[in-house]
Amino acid sequence: MTKTDVHYGDYLQLEKILNAQELESDKQQLHAHDEMLFIIIHQAYELWFKQLLFEVDSVAAIMQKPVNDNSPELQTVVHRTSRMITILKLLVHQIDIMETMTPMDFLDFRDMLRPASGFQSWQFKALEARLGLKYQHRFGQEYYISQLKQAQIDLIKQAENQQSIIDLLNQWLERMPFFEEAHNWTNYKPVSDISNPTEHIFWEDYQQIYINSLAAAEQSNRDQFNTIFTKDTPEAVRQLSPRACRAALFIMLYRGYPILQLPFQLLNSLLEIDEQLSTWRYRHMSMVHRMIGSRIGTGGSTGRDYLKGALDKHYIFADIARLTSFLIERRKLPALSTEMEKRLGFK
């Protein structure tokens, strides 16, 4: 085959991109200088949302298959979630550029945008859904797709009907055999006095060590421990099962072992994604309050109040973050059996 030369501008389709900024203020012969900045920033956001969705889909495709805990596939998952974190940090910093526009600069063209609104970004809603934000956990359920075109609604519904990253994470954690391999615990020596264990011996031992480490004001954590690690609760309350939570906590506790390094990095990456999304929401909310105060959004939302509600409620990986409440000091960690140490090392 004869290779055709590739030209920079043609490859990037720059003619389309650089001619995709049409100022509403110019159409009305009321030129507003900062409208160009406003358009370009939001176009850049949508391009990055597309890349984030591309990365999420690739991660989900890998995790839908059985993934070895120390494999190139898991390394790829960790690498791509780390890339997502870097992109999200960039999205947060883009708000710094947006804030070079003053409230009066924005008012020069704001009313010309109605009813368009960032609330109509279907890609961001699809991204939240692919990560694991379910409809029943959303703030403002009654109008979160009310202003979208039917084709966009269909895309969001398709994203909601797919297995999300949190769903796939739950499956991956549940199949980890730490507590099912009885032969690896035969020489385990519990620290606590356990006479008639009803759970796995390690788990009974760890629970007692944890309870003994609580301050007087923290005794309510005793009941929370049982709720999170041993009791099934409705899906509306949690997204990780007790079995998955036990595996995740074990990974956090013993992450120093080689085979648990990548699993720990994955859990940490998902927490960082949540943190960056939260930071982006907070910065967005603060910017909106600075720009329009208590006025409603151009799309009819409650503006800052809606963003505040989403900030408070839209934590996707909260079940992972909650586990840090149940860690103990490293020096109090139960020593694993020789067999288990071999299981977690490199052979």
The SS3 of residue 295 is coil
Residue 66 has pLDDT above 60, yes or no: yes
Q: Which H or E run includes 223? A: helix 220-229
pLDDT of residue 63: 95
pLDDT of residue 188: 86
Q: Which architecture does CATH list for 26-344? A: Up-down Bundle (1.20)
Q: Any known ligand binding at 110?
A: yes
Taking a C-beta distance cutoff of 8 angstroms, is the pair 69, 259 a contact?
yes
Q: Any known ligand binding at 109?
A: no
Domain map (residue ranges) of the chain = 26-344
Q: Any known ligand binding at 139?
A: no
Taking a C-beta distance cutoff of 8 angstroms, is the pair 187, 338 a contact?
yes
pLDDT confidence tier of residue 174, bands split at 50, 70 and 90: very high
Mean per-residue pLDDT, 69-85 = 93
Average pLDDT for the chain: 88
Asked which of 50-54, 71-75, 280-284, 309-313 is least confident by mean pLDDT, the reply is 309-313
Q: Any known ligand binding at 38?
A: yes
pLDDT confidence tier of residue 162, bands split at 50, 70 and 90: very high
- Give the end-to-end CA distance of the chain in Å, rounded to a whole number: 48
Taking a C-beta distance cutoff of 8 angstroms, is the pair 345, 319 a contact?
no
Chain-centroid distance of CA 208 in Å reads 32
List, as one string, the DSSP characters of 333-344.
PPPPPHHHHHHH
* pTM for the structure as a whole: 0.90
Q: Any known ligand binding at 41?
A: yes
pLDDT of residue 267: 97
pLDDT confidence tier of residue 133, bands split at 50, 70 and 90: confident
Q: Any known ligand binding at 255?
A: no
Q: Any known ligand binding at 289?
A: no
pLDDT of residue 57: 97
If one compares 255 and 177, the residue with the highest pLDDT of the two is: 255
Mean per-residue pLDDT, 95-99 = 95
pLDDT of residue 26: 96
Asked which of 170-179, 239-248, 266-275 is least confident by mean pLDDT, the reply is 170-179
Q: Show Cβ contacts of residue 2 under 8 Å, excluding neighbours closer than 6 positions.
A: none
pLDDT of residue 297: 58
Q: Any known ligand binding at 137?
A: no
Asked which of 114-118, 151-155, 233-237 is least confident by mean pLDDT, the reply is 233-237
Q: Which amino acid is present at 311? A: L
- What tokens does 59 get? 């991660």
pLDDT of residue 68: 76
If one compares 119 and 126, the residue with the highest pLDDT of the two is: 126
* CA–CA dist 97, 336 (Å, integer): 52
pLDDT of residue 29: 95
For 314-345, what is each residue's pLDDT tens digit? 789 999 999 999 999 999 999 998 888 888 88
- Give, as one character, the DSSP assignment of residue 12: T
Mean per-residue pLDDT, 141-145 = 68
* CA–CA dist 116, 128 (Å, integer): 21
pLDDT confidence tier of residue 301, bands split at 50, 70 and 90: low
If one compares 297 and 213, the residue with the highest pLDDT of the two is: 213
Most confident of 127-136, 157-166, 184-193: 157-166
